[in-house]
Structure 1
Amino acid sequence: PSDLFNPAATKFGPDGMLYVLDQAGQFFKVNPDGSNRTPISTLDPGLDNMSFADDGRLYMTNNDEGWVAEILLPSGQPRYLSTGGIIRPQGLVAMEGSNNQDILFEADLFNLRTFNGTNGRQLEQFKGFLIPEGPESLILPQNLSPDGENLVVSSWFSGAVQVWSTVDQSVETISYGFPDVQKIPIDAVRVAGDIYISDLTVGGVVREGTSTPVVALVSSGLASDGDILYAADWGSGNGSTDGIIYAIDISAGTPPEKIAEGLSNPEGLALDQEGRLLVVETGTSSLLRIDLMNGNARTTLAEGLDFDKGSLGAAGPPSFFFDAVAVGPSGDIYVTGGGSNVIYKISQNKVR
């Protein structure tokens, strides 16, 4: 049929009919000759795959929602075997919500999700698109940074950076680098009025509208206090200790300064309420704090965190799926654990 959005799987059932699922959520069957299309049910968008067992029972997965279900026939209704939830937590931003509670924005690859920082309940969910439905479509969100009431969204899956409004969900696409070169943005943040992007193809951190890096590095996390840009060099990988954190005073136009060396695959960066820099060090499964006012003294705030350690080798960024850190208005710290599909919370009164 020509009215399908994105047919993801087809299987012949024990009745000889061809069963089809469409990622938009449509599930139907059709005669092998294409006649007599029969709708079965409408399920959550993001349908991904299905399989008939030897006894005729049908099982289905949803890529966006993360559930696995037995599909009861002929009704087509799901019996959830795994209810799903977070798919692949990556970028994080914490903003002020009602009743002095943090609202957490989480980049979940196929969706942008929001959570109550107090009880962890999901509040809202916004669909991202690999193939945009139009200029207002949200890209597949992989990393986030705060920008007033907006979020700066970056995605190497989509090869793009956007500014997304938390108020009306409008988007603005950011231009940078060479137009004919595939972009691999790892993180992006606003500094001194402009968006700076850490892009693997560019080979470092570049300002929007330009193609020459302000600092060359293996692209990883960024953070800023509005004037100074903090940029992580992920390093060569394999548990090595050649990761670096640079500080660049954008307003003053000074050269990059190394403020930390010998790190093991640093990814997410954030500033706490005292202006100290938090670093997700994935090579040691730790969250570090660097005191910028005390000789860059380091403190380990948490150990044994289950970060994502996947890699595509030369085919993609060494971080693959990014693990991030965010600090809420409450002072609480949130960290993604991509290895277990979780978000950790560290109360501010435990890290002073």
Structure 2
Amino acid sequence: MKIPCALSALLLLLPLPVAAEVSAWQLDRLVPGALFKGIHGLAFGPDAMIYVGSVMGQSIYRVDPATGAAEVFVPPPIGQADDIEFAPDGTMYWTGFTHGTLNAQSPGGEPRVIASGLPGLNSLALNAQGRLFATQVFAGDALWEFDPAGSREPRLVMRDLGGLNGFDFAPDGRLCGPLWFKKQVVCIDVDSTALEIMNDEFSRPAAANFNSRGELVAIDNETGGIYRIDMRSHRRELLATAPSNLDNLAFDAGDRLFVSNMSDNAIYALEGSSLRTVTSSPLSLPGGIAVAGNELIVADTFSLSAVDLGSGKVRDISRSLADNGFPTTVAVSTEAKRIASASFESGTAQLWDLSAETVIARWGGLALPSAIAVIDADRIAVTEIGAGGRLLILDRRQPRQRTVLADKLGQPQGLLRVGELYLVSEAAAGRVVEIDQNGSLRLIADGLQHPEGLALLPDGRLAVAETGAARMVLIDPQSGSIEVAAAELPLGMADIPGYPPGIFPTGVASDASGAIYFSSDRDGGILRLRAASGLSP
């Protein structure tokens, strides 16, 4: 999609929430986007193409394994897929993780729901007799058998397994797969529920599949290791090492192995002992962003990353989900030498040492944390969309204490600390407010359409992503006057069932020159706005 610059003549025709000025800004791209928004389960269809699912992107994509060319095959929201399986007749089944659904589509037909009410449906597989099984993981922990036609209620097979993730059926009829939380690969008799541990040497086993020769191959999310497990001796053999954050794997008809990677939107093909990249992108799905010197720190959903502000080159800070907790928002204080990150997906927050890039404090049990700010070397502020919309102060010296500075906020999506004040964007309320140390609120601007990330510019104005209008606005915090910097921006991804509307954040940041950076949840890139040559912002 071509993204137009904010031309004054065009912007003057746009409806504005309050009286506004429009000045010329130049839009360019710091990091390219991608079709994918985090990819997970994959399977080969009857056409020998790879079908790969996305939870956040709520889509199933069809990928050419030779060229990497990709297209959306099942669009949002019904296309949300954590795992995919094909029946011999070509029917495709997939799990809607946050939807809590099991879905099917026959060749030439339309998508249909065959089971619902099971949040966290994750992995699935058909056995040789056509029996269909799927598991709940993360938002549940159970193995179920489903009627492929959807006529009968699901049958509970087992509970509390320890996170049975991507699995497959062995030649002997047993279901074999990894227990994410127990670091084991196991085989289970789905009728007697007898369980055998095949290997327990994994850091974070993510998926296991059999090739046509009956060989079991498993992947390690944490290390990127791809292993063959001997079914008799239970020993494992390293086949190759991929970048970490692997999610799933599939064999094609010729027994070539393909694996997916969440951090890089990547699919790799194992060729001998080396890997060929079928497709990838610099970022997966960027949310919150913050400037740190000459870099932009990015909460990239499956990784915490850094982008060089000059070249746009991306490097990893953390690809470990155990460390970063699926980061969706981030803040930086160069004075305190700290990074703070949080995730509405995992309900966690982390405080990092900026120099060492290591976690020094963690908090869990947060109610949809949506934005974050660093107060000092020990304290952070975080907004919660859940629990009535709150602004909390957390202190690593008193990790159990949670001080509520403000509540009843209307879906807080952006947070800045300026001196002793907090600036908060309330997406549902359509306003930006200032909150002091006593919790008192002052209205800065209202009438906005789903404001999210915000940043303080060198001239004292606020840059705010108004995602409901797909534009970036500049707000004077004293007068409340609004200027449109750019419109028709790739902002505002499809709502995710199970979460409040528009929960995925659009991050905004600014550097010393006044350039505005923002993440695009629509295309997965980072864009930049700079004042047009000869014009002052």
Q: Which TM-score applies when normalising by structure 1?
A: 0.84
Shift, 1:307, TM fit: 2.1
Q: Give the counterpart letter for 1:309 in structure 2.
A: M
SS of the residue 1:283 aligns to: helix
Do residues 105 (structure 1) and 297 (structure 2) align?
A: yes
Instruction: Write the distance in 1 (CA, Å) between the matches of 2:482 and 2:261.
Output: 42
For residue 347 of structure 1, the aligned residue among 515, 524, 530 is 530
Do residues 224 (structure 1) and 414 (structure 2) align?
A: no
Deviations 1:98-117 (A, max 9, x none): xxxx3111111222211111
Partner of 1:146: 332
Shift, 1:228, TM fit: 2.1
Shift, 1:319, TM fit: 3.1
Instruction: Write the distance in 1 (CA, Å) between the matches of 2:405 and 2:422.
Output: 13
Partner of 1:99: none
Partner of 2:513: 330
Partner of 2:480: 296
For residue 247 of structure 1, the aligned residue among 434, 444, 449 is 434
Deviations 1:58-82 (A, max 9, x none): 222111222112221xx23211111
Partner of 1:6: 204
Partner of 1:195: 380
Instruction: Write the distance in 2 (CA, Å) between the matches of 1:337 and 1:13.
Output: 39
Instruction: Write the distance in 1 (CA, Å) between the matches of 2:403 and 2:439.
Output: 19
In the alignment, is the contact (CA less than 8 A) between 2:303 and 2:324 conserved in 1? no
Structure 1 unpaired stretches of 5+: 97-101, 132-136, 236-241
Q: Give the counterpart letter for 2:261 in structure 1.
A: N
Partner of 2:291: 94
Q: Give the counterpart letter for 2:211 in structure 1.
A: G
Do residues 67 (structure 1) and 266 (structure 2) align?
A: yes
For residue 347 of structure 2, the aligned residue among 125, 147, 159 is 159
Partner of 1:261: 446
Partner of 1:127: 318
SS of the residue 1:158 aligns to: coil
In the alignment, is the contact (CA less than 8 A) between 1:109 and 1:128 conserved in 2? no
Instruction: Write the distance in 2 (CA, Å) between the matches of 1:191 and 1:54.
Output: 55
Instruction: Write the distance in 1 (CA, Å) between the matches of 2:229 and 2:382.
Output: 48
Larger Rg over CA atoms:
2
Shift, 1:308, TM fit: 4.2
Identity of aligned residues (%): 23
Shift, 1:192, TM fit: 8.7
In the alignment, is the contact (CA less than 8 A) between 1:205 and 1:216 conserved in 2? no
Q: Give the counterpart letter for 1:158 in structure 2.
A: S
In the alignment, is the contact (CA less than 8 A) between 1:128 and 1:139 conserved in 2? no
Instruction: Write the distance in 1 (CA, Å) between the matches of 2:358 and 2:237.
Output: 37
Deviations 1:9-33 (A, max 9, x none): 2111122211211212111223444
* Shift >6 Å, 4+ stretches: none
SS of the residue 1:289 aligns to: strand
SS of the residue 2:330 aligns to: strand
Task: Quote the RMSD (CA, aligned, Å).
Answer: 2.4
Larger relative contact order (C-alpha < 8 A, sep ≥ 6)? 2
Shift, 1:276, TM fit: 0.4
For residue 311 of structure 1, the aligned residue among 472, 478, 495 is 495
In the alignment, is the contact (CA less than 8 A) between 2:220 and 2:246 conserved in 1? yes
Structure 2 unpaired stretches of 5+: 1-198, 395-400
**Are the structure 2 counterparts of residues 55 and 192 from structure 1 closer, same or farther at C-alpha, using a change threshold of 3 Å?**
closer
Deviations 1:44-67 (A, max 9, x none): 111111111223332221112221
**Are the structure 2 counterparts of residues 118 and 36 from structure 1 closer, same or farther at C-alpha, using a change threshold of 3 Å?**
closer
Deviations 1:125-152 (A, max 9, x none): 1225443xxxxx4443221122223222
Aligned residues: 325
Instruction: Write the distance in 1 (CA, Å) between the matches of 2:203 and 2:359.
Output: 23
